[in-house]
Amino acid sequence: MKEIALYVHIPFCKQKCFYCDFPSYAGREGLEDDYINSLIKEIDIKCSDKVIKSLFIGGGTPSHLNEDNLYKLLNKLNCLSYIENAERTIECNPGTLTESKLRIIKDCGMNRISMGLQTTNNNLLKKIGRIHTIEEFCENYNRARQFGFENINIDIMFGLPDQSISDYEETLRGIIKLKPEHISCYSLIIEEGTPFYNMSERGILNLPKEDDERQMYKLTKDILEANGYHQYEISNYSKEGMECYHNKVYWKCEEYLGVGVSSSSYINGSRVKNIDSITEYIERICSGKDIYEDVVKNTAKEDMEEFMFLGLRMIQGINKDDFKNRFKKDIYDVYRSVIKENIKKGLLKEENNNIYLTDKGIELSNYVMSEFIL
């Protein structure tokens, strides 16, 4: 049986955060029952002949599902075949977790929780549209520990409106005290179609200056590394041996299967994207039609580009032998001038058969990665 990483998309949220452009919707709970029934059908069709290497239930807010649906879905997923000790993550919003939901999550075999916090500052939490306070977060985090979860990720953000460097430092120091195994730190990006985008267009969003944001990035690295977290990807840090297996599948361009609306798959050399509409998804599954919006067979050139710019997100970078094994070509035959030039500019480094971004290269990562487009 084919081994694969599985992503499951839950498109419901209690409320939309002001910065979020993910495919998730508030106020659509009326569709939850039909959606979960359809999702289970898609899982039945696509997963019964697979062995799952890792499972990631994301969204949206999987923990916003009502208890019946949460149990139905997790119980179904728990009946699939897994490799031994497979990582099984569920994303949880602390404003939607309860003791009984945590019990269901634990009993159904999930072994990793990813909690969105973003900041420890209650004023900022309100300003960015989060539905929880830091106190609610801590209560749920501690409860998850009591339930025996030994692998927890906390998501935080920097570059938030009205966030000072010291606010951000407080967040970093606050979460370190909780000793999570994994921390993701992303900078706020203003995405079109979000309330923050409109506010920024109207000039009423007070974002930190570029220099301050750069300092926040540096602070993340300094404080987390001094406290036993190693950076293994541009925005991700973990305790030794606790890197997120599932995310590494994406960065290494390995195959994965996505189920649910808006999910993507990379399988047998094709990139597949499911449709976004929840109602259409339900209708199509019920009438036995396909649910694809896009199926694109990557060319060898596109595969190489993706391999380069996703691989360079990892701190260890690209292994030259991996490139050769995958594409039957020496990396220098394809990218000699780009690699040499960026090494000369101090943005890339080559060591022990690996090519990776330097600190300066990470700062200018978008530029460096764009250079690898053929």
* Contacting residues toward ligand SF4, per CB under 6 A: 13, 16-17, 20, 22, 24, 59-61, 93, 116
Sheet holding 318-319, edge to edge: 318-319, 354-357, 348-351
Min dist. Cβ of residue 58 to ligand SF4 (A): 8
Q: Which is nearer to ligand SF4, 196 or 309 (CB)?
A: 196
Q: Which is nearer to ligand SF4, 18 or 332 (CB)?
A: 18
CA atoms of 151 and 148, how far apart (whole Å): 9
Q: Which residue is nearest to ligand SF4 (CB)?
A: 20
Min dist. Cβ of residue 93 to ligand SF4 (A): 5
Min dist. Cβ of residue 57 to ligand SF4 (A): 12
**Cα dihedral: 8, 45, 269, 295 (round 10):** -80
Alpha carbons within 13 A on the beta-carbon side of 3: 9
Q: Which is nearer to ligand SF4, 155 or 363 (CB)?
A: 155
Min dist. Cβ of residue 113 to ligand SF4 (A): 14
**Cα dihedral: 329, 331, 334, 340 (round 10):** -160
* Token pair recorded at residue 75: 């119980």
DSSP designation for 207: P
Is the CB of residue 213 less than 8 Å from the CB of residue 159?
yes
Min dist. Cβ of residue 64 to ligand SF4 (A): 8
> Sign of the CA dihedral 279, 281, 286, 287?
positive
Q: Which is nearer to ligand SF4, 196 or 229 (CB)?
A: 196
Q: Which is nearer to ligand SF4, 133 or 358 (CB)?
A: 133
Q: Which is nearer to ligand SF4, 24 or 342 (CB)?
A: 24
DSSP designation for 179: -
Partnered with residue 120 across adjacent β-strands are none
Alpha carbons within 13 A on the beta-carbon side of 324: 8
Min dist. Cβ of residue 23 to ligand SF4 (A): 9
